[in-house]
Amino acid sequence: MKPFADRLVDAIHSKNSRAVVGLDPRLDSLPDEFQRGIKKNVEAAAQAVLEWGGEIIATVAPHAAAIKPQIAFYEMLGPFGLVTYYALCKHARKKGLLVIGDVKRGDVPDTAKAYATAHLESFDCDAITINPYLGSDSVAPFVEMAKKQDAGLFVLVKTSNPGSGDFQDLKTADGRPLYEVVAQRVGEWGRELAGRSGYSSVGAVVGATHPEQAAALRKLLPQAFFLVPGYGAQGATAADVKLCFNADKLGAVVNASRSVIFAHEKNRSVDWKKAVEEAVVKMKTDINAALST
């Protein structure tokens, strides 16, 4: 298998899309046809999410480079939810989507190795997000497993939430904010995992809600793929995310969740699947258009 970064570049080219669809099953937002009984028990909810997720995958597969299931929404449903998560990850890969497990794991080295095995082998994601707070030795087992499995990592550098500044923006003694110190390490961790495309399979999560910081990080990490959350419902536009890309129109993929998968909530004039399809096509097109101006 090719390294993850190269597979991502291939997917972007073959689908002409830099869009990632967040598969985050918020029960309240599922279309009416999936609502029966899901508040009463988690088995019914997990089954509904499985069926809904299959439809989303079929709908977005031609238009998205990857899907990014947020595991928190599956864990909410207990062990049944994890069965659904497992099945949807497998299903998406079969349907030609790369799967980025949004798990944000991070732990001491031995435990990090267990997490890496869990998510890059057992749950078999193409890539996962990880949290760097525990330091280099906590990231190393993920890098090692990514190398072994031709998988990818997106390390949290600068997240999209308003409170991300509390620690990530803290100025360190040498004048750099913490997120830049982390970014520098991301570059180091990624050196071993450079693909033929010139991009590394160790990428970074960089929120589109902070455009200036994204632009600075883009310069600091030319070889890293950015996974860019915050598009759509969180307020970032195609113009904002443009700063996350390199001149080759690569180096970033942009995630939207609610604004795509629950597009029917704002667009009730069409069938829910049609609303989803229109939303993902518009997202893909808007980003491509912004990159061409």
191 forms part of the interface with a second copy (CB under 8 A): no
CA distances from 150 to 2, 7, 95, 126, 195 (A): 6, 9, 19, 8, 10
- Taking CB under 8 A as the rule, which mask of x and - marks residues 150-189 in contact with a second copy? ------x--xxxxxxxxxx-xxxx-x--x--xx--x----
CB-count exposure of residue 217 (10 Å: 0-12, 13-18, 19+): buried
39 forms part of the interface with a second copy (CB under 8 A): no
Between 44 and 76, whose beta carbon lies closer to a second copy? 76
Q: Find tokens 């970032």 and name the residue.
A: 236
79 forms part of the interface with a second copy (CB under 8 A): yes
117 forms part of the interface with a second copy (CB under 8 A): yes
The yes-or-no answer on residue 104 being catalytic is yes
Between 12 and 182, whose beta carbon lies closer to a second copy? 182
CA distances from 274 to 28, 157, 239, 277, 290 (A): 20, 35, 25, 5, 24
73 forms part of the interface with a second copy (CB under 8 A): yes
Q: How far apart are CA 270 and CA 280, in angstroms?
A: 15
Quote the least distance from Cβ 17 to a second copy, whole Å.
24
Task: Please count the residues of this chain forming the interface with a second copy, following the rule CB under 8 A.
Answer: 59
Among 69, 190, 229, 232, binds a second copy (CB under 8 A): 229
Closest listed residue to residue 129, CA positions, set 220, 225, 43 = 225
Is-contact 245 291, C-beta < 8 A?
A: yes
Quote the least distance from Cβ 2 to a second copy, whole Å.
25
The interface region with a second copy, picked from 1-9, 12-20, 92-100, 132-140 by CB under 8 A, is 132-140
The interface region with a second copy, picked from 53-61, 113-121, 146-154, 214-222 by CB under 8 A, is 113-121
CB-count exposure of residue 36 (10 Å: 0-12, 13-18, 19+): exposed
For the beta carbon of residue 169, count every other beta carbon within 10 angstroms: 14
Among 109, 187, 198, 211, binds a second copy (CB under 8 A): 109
Three-point CA angle 130, 133, 138, nearest 5°: 65
**What are the backbone angles phi and psi of residue 176, rounded to the nearest 5°?**
-85, 145
Between 14 and 122, whose beta carbon lies closer to a second copy? 122
Chain residues that interact with a second copy, rule: CB under 8 A: 24, 42, 70, 72-73, 75-79, 81-83, 85-86, 104-109, 111-112, 114-115, 117-119, 122-123, 131-138, 156, 159-168, 170-173, 175, 178, 181-182, 185, 229
Positions marked active-site? 104
